[in-house]
Structures are given as C-alpha cells and as structure tokens.
C-alpha cells in the first residue's frame, strides 16, 4: 500500500514509518519539523520512502493514498503549550485537511488521539466510554480540547462521508528517538540522571502513570488501522507505577548516587492515569510485550548515545 504518515519525523511517527516499510509498504512522510527531526528518518531515505516538509494546517494535495495516519502534533506539555494557538490549529484545521485527503482518496484514516481527552479523570481506570474531566481554560486545554475536537471531526467524516476512520487514544509512550528536551517524565528522569545526576519530581511523587514501550505502541496502531473497530480504542500499558517508583527504577539502571529535587505539581496534571485495555485486547488481540525495566534500559542507552554525541 501507499501510506501517508503525518508527523512521521517525530518520536512515534518515525518508528511507525520504519515498521510500515519493513512490511513492504511505500511510505510518504510529511512533517513540519517543528518538533520532528530528519535525524529520526534519515536511515529510511534509500527505501520505499518519501519525505515532504509540510505543515498540515496548509492544504495537502496528493493522489493514490491508501491509508492516512495523523500523528502530527507536539505531544509533550512544554512543546504544545509553547504555541497553544498553533496546537489547536494543528489538531483541528490539520486534522480536517487530512480527513479531506482521505475522503478524496477513499483512504482509511487513523487519528492519534490521546489519554489527555480524559483530563484529570474521576474514573479509574479510564474506559473509552468515559467523557472525561477536562478544564477548558487550563494550560493543557489547547491540546486536550484540540484532540477532542479532532475525534469529533473523525466521527463526522465517517458519519457524513463514509470515510473509514480509526481513533487511537494513546497513553504514556516512551523509547528511543524521544527528544532530549521532551519534558515528559521518562526523558526528564533519564536525561537528568545522565547530565546533572539529579531527578526532578513534581508534587510528592505519589501520582501514577502507565508506560508503554514504543515498539508495542506501533504494533497497536498498525493493528487498529487494520481492524474493523470504528470507535476510540485505548492503547498503552495498564501496569501502573508511581512517579517515585519510576525514579527508583531509573536510579537502578545507572547504579550511582542521584539527587532528587522536589518541585510543585503543574496545574491540571492528573494524579492517576491508567487505561482500561479490555477493548484493545478484545478487538485487536493486542497487548504490551516489553517489560518496563527492559524498555527503560533501551531508552537510557539511546539517550546516553545522544548526549555523548552532542558533547
């Protein structure tokens, strides 16, 4: 197939491009390079792969596309909060442009949505039928509400125009090719341990998260695209750990004295986040395969190489 991956030079997108090429597909990667990097995809250039630098907020004209993956939006809070209007435009106008492209090509469309649509959840774990607890006036609203609107657009294009749409609600994902300054907890802990021998914990560290390794997430996205499931599906790990426990696991990898710095918790940062994966297991026959400690070791090895190469 000929597959378009928007945001294909980013963290998840670049791994997805590689997976699709390995399956024998031709991949067209478009990325504005605002947070993506050509470094993530340069090893793919001699394969069935085309890269186009393009912002999906602008119209996209392309023919002979069989599938469209929309991963084109900064996903870490410090990135999407930097320009909140651009974040909203990417999620709303950009998603509409890609849906129009899918409609013209009669292509199947997958939206990379997010666990952020649940906000600071009052349901635990979060099921896909939970409507969420989102602050529309908070600093995270540009991303949370942008993704919620993108889901609505996907639904309406399916209902009104018959576009085959799939929606993945992605929970915390980590692994190689995350940015050094990504700002999310796994990269923060590993980079802090490597560069400053310190880890910064917000709040008291009792908040919980579930972490899915990138290879497992990509398998989930590909499985969802190939499925008959037209309603949102949670993708992630349901192995819940506290932030303090994560810090201890990172400490164990480096086997050295690492200081802990405590800071106040950011506004609207959820205390608990854990997906109910019943639907993914039932509809996709999908589950994570990479243990957290193994994934953290692979990620730490990647960041160590990145930091050494930039010294």
Provide the annotated active-site residues.
143
Closest Cα partner for 62 from 25, 100, 31? 100
Residue 125, preceding peptide bond in cis (omega within 30° of 0) = yes
Q: Is 133 helix (H, G, I), strand (E, B) or coil?
A: strand
Asked if 169 and 113 touch (Cβ cutoff 8 Å), the reply is yes
Residue 145 makes CB contacts below 8 A (sequence gap 6+) with 88, 134, 136
Token code pair at residue 300:
């730490």
Distance CA 2, CA 229 (A): 21
Q: What is the largest CA-CA distance in the chain?
A: 59
Angle of helix 141-161 relative to helix 95-105, nearest 10 degrees, comes to 20
């Amino acid at each position: 197939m000929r597959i378009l991956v928007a945001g294909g030079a980013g963290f998840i997108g670049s791994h997805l491009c590689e997976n699709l090429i390995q399956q024998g597909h031709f991949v067209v990667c478009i990325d504005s390079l605002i947070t993506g990097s050509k470094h993530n995809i340069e090893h793919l250039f001699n394969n069935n792969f085309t890269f186009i630098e393009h912002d999906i907020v602008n119209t996209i004209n392309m023919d002979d596309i069989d599938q469209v993956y929309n991963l084109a939006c900064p996903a870490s809070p410090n990135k999407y909060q930097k320009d909140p209007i651009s974040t909203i435009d990417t999620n709303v106008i950009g998603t509409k442009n890609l849906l129009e492209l899918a409609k013209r090509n009669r292509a199947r469309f997958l939206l990379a949505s997010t666990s952020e649509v649940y906000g600071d959840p009052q349901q635990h774990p979060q099921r896909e039928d939970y409507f969420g607890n989102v602050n529309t006036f908070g600093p995270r609203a540009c991303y949370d509400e942008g993704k919620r609107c993108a889901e609505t657009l996907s639904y309406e294009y399916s209902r009104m125009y018959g576009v085959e749409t799939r929606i993945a609600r992605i929970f915390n994902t980590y692994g190689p090719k995350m940015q050094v300054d990504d700002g999310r907890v796994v990269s923060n802990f590993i980079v802090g341990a490597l560069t400053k021998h310190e880890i910064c914990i917000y709040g008291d560290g009792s908040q919980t998260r579930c972490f899915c390794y990138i290879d497992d997430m990509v398998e989930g996205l590909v499985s969802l695209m190939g499925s008959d499931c037209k309603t949102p599906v949670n993708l992630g790990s349901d192995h819940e750990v506290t932030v303090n426990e994560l810090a201890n696991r990172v400490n164990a990898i480096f086997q050295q004295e690492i200081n802990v710095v405590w800071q106040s918790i950011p506004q609207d940062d959820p205390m608990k986040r854990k997906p109910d994966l019943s639907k993914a297991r039932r509809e996709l026959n999908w589950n994570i395969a990479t243990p957290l400690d193994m994934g953290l070791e692979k990620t730490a090895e990647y960041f160590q190489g990145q930091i050494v190469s930039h010294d």
